[in-house]
Structure 1
Amino acid sequence: MESEGVRVRRFEVFANRDNLRLLNEYFERFNVPVADRGVPAVFVGSSYLVGDANILDGLEGLLQSYSDGDGSSVVVDELVEEDGAYGSEGSDGMGCLSFLAITVAALVDSINPCSMAILFFLLAGLLLLRKRKKALRVGLAFTLSVFVANLLFGFGILSAVVLTGLSGVFKVAAGVIAILTGVLLLKDAFFYGAGGFKMEVPEFLRPYLKRRLSKAFYGKSSSLIGAFLVGFLVTSFEVPCTGGPYFYVLARMADDATRMQTIPILLYYNLIFVLPLMLITALLYFGSVHVERAREWKENNKRLIDFVRGLPMIAVGMVTIPATQISEAFALFLNIYRAIGIPLLAVLISYLAYQYLSKHENRSKLVKWIGMASLITMIIAVAITSAQTANIRQAEKQKTNTSTLPSCTNPITECCIIDQLGDGYWDLATDLKAKGDCILITADSVILRCNGHTITGNGTGTGINISANWLVVRDCNINNFTYGISVEQTKKGNIIERNKIFNNYRGILFNAIPGNPTPSYDNVVMKNIVINNSVGIRILRADRTRIYDNYFKNIINAWDDSVYTNQWNTSYDCSNPNIIGEVCVGGNYWHDYNGEDLDSDGIGDTNLPYTCTIDSIRYILNGGDYLPLVDINGPKYHNIQAPTGSLPYDPSAVYEFSITWKDNVHLDKVFLELDGANYTLEKTDEYLGFDSNYRVEHRANYSISFTGLEPGTHTYRWYANDTRNNWNSTQLYNFTIVEDNVPPSIEIISPKNITYNYLNIKLEFTINEAASWIAYSLDHQENITIFTNVEAGTYTKYIYIPNYGSHNIIVYAKDHAGNTGKSERIYFTTKRIWGGVGNFRYVIMLY
């Protein structure tokens, strides 16, 4: 989007891995502290804003500051150009649900013989009675009713799906209904009425409906309200049976559209949906089409209409069902087909051939049936071959990811496969960098100890893949993978503890194998720090997993839409502190839990259970955390550096203030109050991880400096709060700056008022305070600087006297307050000594 020279690009990061990787590159390039990273985030030029409040408060000023300059945004533009393949800038959240897709779906849905037939019936009688205006009003009332009813059904279904978080289930159900409807329509197209069922109003209901409609519209009590109610009733019956395209659009909006986007989309869809009804009403009213001819055309082309509706309905159903469920169903179908499909197909073809060829008149159709059987066989063979090829390629891909990894040696110094138990303990001896997968564990009962080392990926692959049972993965830092730790399906009894898992697409994944219903089970995830991932923990197929005493701070903290029961908290126990240092163990710390702790035990008591609900979408579908951890303690401080005592006034002096704050969850605001005014501090050396007791610690140094403080007593203290709004402050400190009007005192020790027989004279003196400048003047000449920035004390300097005779010397000094002092002037004499031996004269010069 561009406006007045401002270009805005939007990137969706919840479901788009490439965009998430781009966001992390922004964070790295802009040096955003790890603890401050999150969404929403705005990058303008060389500046950034993260968080709703910061964006609302600061975006206007930030844009204004750039509009006053040259408008450049070099850093952002460079990143976008480098990553031009990333998803989409103008994405409005609807992904591939384009204007064309909505239009096509609405047009397919609008071809509805049932509502058309009722409209024909309503208008036919009125037109025969020459009540054209009433026919127009009835037709429009009926059309409006269908429009309103379908619109209300859409809002109702969409709201229910969003509130329950069952968008995945709804997609599957909508897809199945659409496919079933399409199949039945195709059945009617080729075998009309076969099986005793037709996709129409049942025969036994038609006389009753005709009587009711006749009474409502051709009797004395006929009214527009009756037409409106009939439209509502018809739509109520139609939506569940023929609403496949509508369900497709609703399913896509449930995941992708914002609340404001759904209104115009549903209005547009339903306007297209009732367009044929409006067109029929207008054509019949103006006499362009005769009622009986239109009805006759509809009856004669029933099969064609069903065929035209059936194929798109099946296509819509296939598109609506998520690819994962389709692949699983297809894999299950192939397994069944391989076992019994081929024999049944052979029997069926043989039986049909026998039935037709047993009759003389059908023998001539032998060639036709042979051709059809050959075509069917070829299609099935191609499908099986394609599926097998896809499976082979997938297996090759999975093999490629791990076959290049060597077997591990203990201690571990490279990415590898732990394929043997060894002595049970495997130790990581150094930090690792991976291009894809790093550590794959296939041996049971292994204990992997990373010893605090970091495993860093390139944005792809899996940091640690658990493909065995009864493992322990401990003390690892796992960064920048597609999956930080992945537990493969059917694996059991594994423990993931005391790890820091950050900047991944999925922090922890419990995987699923298409076609295999057996979950992983009895695994434990505890005492981990899981931060800055797109999804903290993702459960596809796992049962009886215990997830407790972890720290979660991610875009989506937890996502579990499996049908199994996983435990998001352990039993309430106050015998040992939890991961954030509070007194009781229960569930997990969730950065977005907004409930309250009513009894100050560090456990939430309201808004239970925690289900990771974001924008009305619930991500933990079964159960939740009933004992979420709450931070009730404020930040702590140490290492204060600041002025103390009494200090001389110096306009150029720099006064440094610094402090270290730490919190058991996350620091928020830190500021210094100096003489009643608050100042924001610069944050450095930030750390978020475990302390020595494996509890969360967010720590940072804060500093600020001042110059030109005026004389007098100054008071100061630091304040800090955390993201739970727990505050703490230091005591009130003070220091005094004394205005100095007294010049420094200088006393010359040497030279003295005597005669020296040499010219290299020692100048020695004392000064009673620190000085920024010291100089001497010999015989009233210009000052010669000999020292700068010295403390009080005794100083010595040898000076050369240029000639013999009487001399004087004085020393000047300036203190840091700008006061200049001087010593007494000292007078002394230098004299040459002459002597001789025999006829020679000589000079003795003493130095």
Structure 2
Amino acid sequence: MKKSAVALLSVLLLTLYSTPTSQAATINYYYSEHCENCKAFAPYWEKFVAEKSGEHQFEKKQTDASVENKNELLNRNMQYRGIAHTEIPAILVTDNQAGEDVLLIGLEEINLLPEILGENGRLIPGMESRELTSAIITRSGKMPTSLFYPFTLAALADASNPCALFVFIVATSYATVFCGRAKAVVYAVTFCATMFLVYLGAGLVGNRLINIIFGASPWITLMLSLGMLLLAVFHLRTALFPHQTRYSELPYRLKELIVKNASKCVSFGGAIASGVLCALVEMPCTGGPYIFALNIISKMPTASAVLCLLYYNLIFITPLLLCLIILLVAPQYVERLDVWRVAYRRWMHLLMGLLLLAAAFLGIINYA
């Protein structure tokens, strides 16, 4: 009887010390037999398992052969990515000590697996699961779905700002009336290109500065989101009280100066100068949404950040491009553009305020 009890106790102790909790992480690999990327990744997975089998617990889960495995991956996708479908190959890494985990989807993210498992095999310390997942997505060059929407909303809010539209319409209308449509088209194209390039350049510099100054500080997202809320209040105030334009439009004296000097802007050099000047003067008006967007992409690789900036600034100049199309197709309506701008100015501020509110709200949710 005593020998049986000792044998049972030995088995229990052996079981306790051989459980996965004594290992640094549990790594679940989701795959499908019909997935070409999974087939290509298989040799690397087997090699990684062979090298790290003593440090971690590994498990392969085939999603096309098990509804349970598929639903498990689907729930993780919903939890961390907000997407209601499964993508493979995917790896779920769970830190057995901290209880935090991270979901890697696609080969670009999976390639980062050795980086997120440090020398002790633990996940990056001090980061919650959602924050860590977002950081991994960004590091792989992709933008998380939860950040794509506030990024796009910030760009749309920037595009709704009437400042650049005012300068563009004044100079284009003057060029059309006094210099002919051909010269007006040259001005319009040059002005749009200049605004685009200046903002793109400012974005590249700003992106680098944010990365250097703030590093990985998560609170900067919250601070910028609160700043966006303040900007939204200014634009909503102007929508309700049209004469209250401080912090939401160009100063009245500067507008008068632009109108008086419109004749100097219609040349090629004048278009470049006015585009640069407008971009620099408008930065205080549009700087909030732009800095908010730059913070979102600050941890991305340079190539991915440039693509995001191209996307943002293309949205930003879309109203100017629409005015350019009107100039090309129906030049007789160019003189009415400023009338329309004045008539719908309050609605533009209302739209910008609501877009800023939405972007700020999503930014705060992402921080939380």
**TM-score normalized with structure 2 length:** 0.62
2:164 matched to 1:115?
Answer: yes
Confirm or deny: 8 A CA contact 1:178 1:317 kept in the other structure: yes
Hey, what does 2:25 align to over in structure 1? 24
Going from structure 1 to structure 2, the CA distance change for 1:198 and 1:164 (only over 3 Å counts) comes to closer
- Asked whether the equivalents of residues 284 and 290 of structure 1 are also in contact (C-alpha less than 8 Å), the reply is yes
2:340 is equivalent to residue 297 of structure 1: yes
> Deviation at 1:47?
1.8
Distance 1:247 1:231 in 2: 20
Report the Cα distance in structure 2 between the residues aligned to 1:198 and 1:162, rounded to whole angstroms: 27
Q: In 2, are the aligned partners of 1:172 and 1:322 still within 8 Å (CA)?
A: no
Q: Secondary structure at the match of 2:209?
A: helix
CA gap of 1:180–1:298, structure 2 versus 1, over 3 A, is same
Per-residue CA distance 1:556-577 (angstroms, 9 max, x = gap)? xxxxxxxxxxxxxxxxxxxxxx
What letter corresponds to residue 271 of structure 1 in structure 2? Answer: L
Contact 1:136 1:282 in 2 (8 A): no
Change in Cα spacing, 1:303 to 1:27, as seen in structure 2 (3 Å) is: closer
Superposition pairs for residues 486-505 of structure 1, below 5 Å? Answer: none
Q: Does 1:189 align with 2:239?
A: yes
Q: Given the alignment, which residue of 244, 249, 268 partners 2:293?
A: 249
Task: Give the conservation status (yes or no) of the 8 Å contact 2:200–2:309.
Answer: yes
Shift of 1:318: 3.0
Which aligned pairs between 1:601-680 and structure 2 lie closer than 5 A?
A: none
Paired position in structure 1 for 2:61? 77
Encode CA deviations 1:149-169: one digit per residue, 9 max, x unaligned. Answer: 111111111101112234545
- Give secondary structure in 2 for the equivalent of 1:25: strand
Which residue of structure 2 aligns with residue 273 of structure 1?
316
Would you say the 8 A contact 2:147–2:366 is kept in 1?
no
* Percent identity of paired positions between Structure 1 and Structure 2: 25
User: Which whole-Å deviations, capped at 9, do the CAs of 1:69-103 have from their partners, x for residues lacking one?
Assistant: xxxxx953359938524335246432225666544
Deviations 1:608-636 (A, max 9, x none): xxxxxxxxxxxxxxxxxxxxxxxxxxxxx
The match for 2:47 is 48
How much has 1:110 moved relative to structure 2? 1.0
The answer to whether structure 1 residue 137 and structure 2 residue 186 are counterparts is yes
Superposed, 1:486-525 pairs within 5 Å as none
* Contact persistence 2:326–2:334 (CA under 8 A): no
Q: 1:117, 1:284 → 2: CA distance?
A: 15
Alpha-carbon offset, residue 199 of structure 1: 2.0
Residue-by-residue CA offset, 1:698-720 (whole Å, 9 max, x unaligned): xxxxxxxxxxxxxxxxxxxxxxx
Deviations along 1:727-783, whole A, 9 cap, x unmatched? xxxxxxxxxxxxxxxxxxxxxxxxxxxxxxxxxxxxxxxxxxxxxxxxxxxxxxxxx
The 1:47/1:312 distance shift into structure 2, 3 A limit, reads: same
Bigger relative CO (Cα 8 Å, ≥ 6 apart)? 2
Aligned twin of 1:232: 276
Q: 1:144 to 1:111 in 2, by over 3 A?
A: same
Match of 1:554 in 2: none
Please tell me the residue identity of whatever aligns with 2:181. Answer: R
Asked whether the equivalents of residues 147 and 363 of structure 2 are also in contact (C-alpha less than 8 Å), the reply is no
Is the Cα–Cα contact under 8 Å of residues 146 and 366 in structure 2 kept in the other structure? Answer: no
Is contact 1:179-1:317 (8 Å) kept? yes
Larger radius of gyration: 1
Alpha-carbon shift at residue 24 of structure 1 (Å): 1.8
Check the 8 A contact 1:192/1:198 in 2, yes or no.
no
Q: Check conservation: 1:126, 1:134, Cα contact below 8 A.
A: yes
Q: CA deviation at 1:176?
A: 3.1
1:178 paired residue number: 228
Indicate the SS of the match to 2:261: helix
Contact 2:157 2:289 in 1 (8 A): yes
Q: Distance in 1 between matches of 2:43 and 2:284?
A: 48
**Structure 1 CA distance, aligned partners of 2:248 and 2:226?**
16
Please report how far the alpha carbon of residue 224 of structure 1 lies from its aligned counterpart in structure 2 after TM superposition.
Answer: 1.3
Q: Over aligned residue pairs, what C-alpha RMSD do you find?
A: 3.3
* 2:262 aligned counterpart, secondary structure: helix
| Contact 1:97 1:252 (8 Å CA) reproduced | no
Rounded to whole Å, the distance in 1 between the matches of 2:43 and 2:313 is 40
Q: 1:207 is aligned with what amino acid?
A: E
Asked if the contact 1:46–1:75 (Cα under 8 Å) also holds between the matched residues in 2, the reply is: no
- The answer to whether the 8 A contact 1:184-1:199 is kept is yes
Structure 1 residues 27 and 96 mapped into 2: Cα distance closer, same or farther (>3 Å)? closer
Secondary structure at 2:47's aligned position in 1?
strand
Matched letter for residue 48 of structure 1: K
Q: Superposed, which structure 2 residues align to 1:436-455 within 5 Å?
A: none
Q: What is the CA–CA distance in structure 1 between the aligned matches of 2:277 and 2:189, rounded to whole Å?
A: 16
Aligned-pair distance for 1:120? 0.7
Cα distance in structure 2, aligned partners of 1:208 and 1:200: 15
Take 1:46 and 1:204, find their aligned partners in 2: how far apart are those partners? 66
1:212 paired residue number: 261
Deviations 1:110-140 (A, max 9, x none): 1121111111111111111252111111101
Determine the C-alpha separation between the residues in 2 that align with 1:183 and 1:129: 40
- Name whichever structure is richer in helix by fraction: 2
Q: What is the distance in 1 between the residues matched to 2:178 and 2:168?
A: 16
Code of the residue aligned with 1:181 in structure 2: it is L
Contact 1:146–1:232, Cα closer than 8 Å, also in 2: yes
Matched, 1:89 2:105: yes
| Matched residue type, 2:155 | A
Q: Distance in 2 between matches of 1:216 and 1:252?
A: 35
- SS of 1:76's equivalent? strand
Once residues 310 and 115 of structure 1 are traced to their aligned partners in structure 2, the CA distance between those partners, rounded to angstroms, is 17
Give the TM-score normalised by the residue count of structure 1: 0.28
Q: 1:293 to 1:145 in 2, by over 3 A?
A: same
Are 1:120 and 1:295, in contact at CA under 8 Å, matched by a contact in 2? yes
